[in-house]
Amino acid sequence: QGRLGRVVGGTARVYNSRAQAFSILKRSAHATPVVDVLTYYVDLMCWFLEGNPPVEVIARGQHGIFKEAGFDAHDVTWGIITLADGAVINLGVSYALPAKYPTLGQSDRVELLGSEGTMIIDDDHLDHLIYSEKGIPHAYVPDHGVNMAFLGSNTAGDWACGDFWGPLGNETRAWLDHLVTGAPTVHATPQQARVTLETTIAIERAAATGKAIRLPLET
């Protein structure tokens, strides 16, 4: 609807505990926080700025916790993406927070800066807490629990009244509606997925080499 005017910049960052990161990396050592997680925020920003593709990426990362545990992944990665019209997007991820940090999934924040408006999404879940001496199980990591948790921070959603509610449930139902009725779907197209994947790979390469990576990728 154009309420922000021309989007000139933005930022998105996502945090999670190392308990979930280790579970992911044990399953697939190539599923780094950038490839497995930050890619969602690349996709989101490209959706907000559709028609204005990324053209260059610079990024930096810091090794430590995951390296000592035997995984070739950065504890923290920050990238700056320049788009075709000069807009600049800053993206960051750290899945190295302490294992008992209260999040049960992603704690994130998204900001868009426009010539005529600003949008800020605070999705850290800091305002919804539960504490239990009995412990609270982690939906994603078996045999892991915390005493205090941010309610609603499980990325996929939550079980309630015998059904699953939240993003994963909504996305699944939307896809089934599309298949059955032909209704429009909000899911990414192959072309959008390709742009997201190339940009995500560019962040990994830029962090590894310290060089700016141009898009689209040649190899």
Q: Give me the mean pLDDT over the 45-72 stretch.
A: 96
Query: pTM of this prediction?
Result: 0.92
Judged against a pLDDT cut of 90, whether residue 35 lies above it is answered with yes
Domain ranges of the chain: 7-155+188-214
CATH superfamily of domain region 7-155+188-214: Dihydrodipicolinate Reductase; domain 2 (3.30.360.10)
- Per-residue pLDDT of 4-33, as tens digits, reads 999 999 999 999 999 999 999 999 999 999
Confidence of residue 158 (pLDDT cuts 50, 70, 90): confident
Give me the pLDDT at residue 68, please: 96
- Per-residue pLDDT of 114-152, as tens digits, reads 999 999 999 999 999 999 999 999 888 988 999 999 988
Calculate what percentage of the chain has a pLDDT beyond 90: 82
Judged against a pLDDT cut of 90, whether residue 168 lies above it is answered with no
* DSSP-assigned letters across all residues of the chain: --TT-SEEEEEEEEEEEHHHHHHHHHH-TT--HIIIIIHHHHHHHHHHTTTS-EEEEEEEEE-SHHHHTT----SEEEEEEEETTS-EEEEEEEEEE-TT-S-SS-EEEEEEEESS-EEEEEE--TT-EEEEEEEEE-SSSTT-EEEEEETT--TT-EEETTEEESHHHHHHHHHHHHHHH-----SPPHHHHHHHHHHHHHHHHHHHH-S-EESS---
